[in-house]
Amino acid sequence: MKIKVVLVSLLVALACTTTLHAQRFKGGVIGGFNFSQIDGDNLAGFNKVGLNGGGYVSAILADRWQLSVEMLFSQQGSKLNPRDGFNAAFDKVALNFVEVPVMINFKEWKFHVQAGVSYANLINSELISVTGEDVTDQVPLQSSIFSYVVGVTFFPGEKLGYNFRWFKTFNDLRADEGSNTWLGRSFSLRLLYLFN
């Protein structure tokens, strides 16, 4: 709970400071899609498509370096593919998160290369078995997820950017001991629009 309060407070503080120090901060909105899978659930491929969107604030540290914080709604999970065979227990795993990535950005020409970590809080989930039964209540999940994140953004102009991002969780999505470890992986394709 403490980490949530700290991250939200940091984002709010950065957002408030943007109006006071426009030359040191930039803000914008982000929208796009996640293509996700879960290692350990016997479902293969990035078949689960979900929304990824929200806002961000970026602090200019130096000519080429920026620190950015985002507040996102992010849909992740996995989905059955006909190639998965008979080992799959689930038809669909749908996870909705509020996500706060903290990224360091290096700017070179029209490209921003990013790396960082992300905290995600699970809002709700839906797990459907291969028989069509809703088994959400039978599979306890972690409410707090941490991920490694890397990405690149191309800015053809001053306001609009095209972002590609990859992430992998480094703590288990499942909360029940003795079960298979579930590690989420996603790549995101998003548009960014800068306000200033």
103 lies in which domain range? 2-194
pLDDT for the residue 57: 96
Domain at 13, CATH number: 2.40.160.20
Among 11-15, 93-97, 110-114, 138-142, name the one with the lowest average pLDDT: 11-15
Confidence check: pLDDT of 8 > 70: no
Distance separating alpha carbons of residues 161 and 11, to the nearest angstrom: 21
Q: For the chain, give the mean pLDDT.
A: 90
- Give the total number of structural domains in the chain: 1
For 97-113, b/e burial (b = at least 16 CB within 10 A) is bbbbbbbebebeeeebe
Between residues 4 and 107, the one the model is more confident about: 107
Distance separating alpha carbons of residues 13 and 7, to the nearest angstrom: 10
Residue-wise pLDDT for 180-191, tens only, equals: 999 999 999 999
Distance separating alpha carbons of residues 74 and 91, to the nearest angstrom: 20
Distance separating alpha carbons of residues 167 and 177, to the nearest angstrom: 24
pLDDT for the residue 93: 97
Residue-wise pLDDT for 28-51, tens only, equals: 999 999 999 999 998 989 999 999
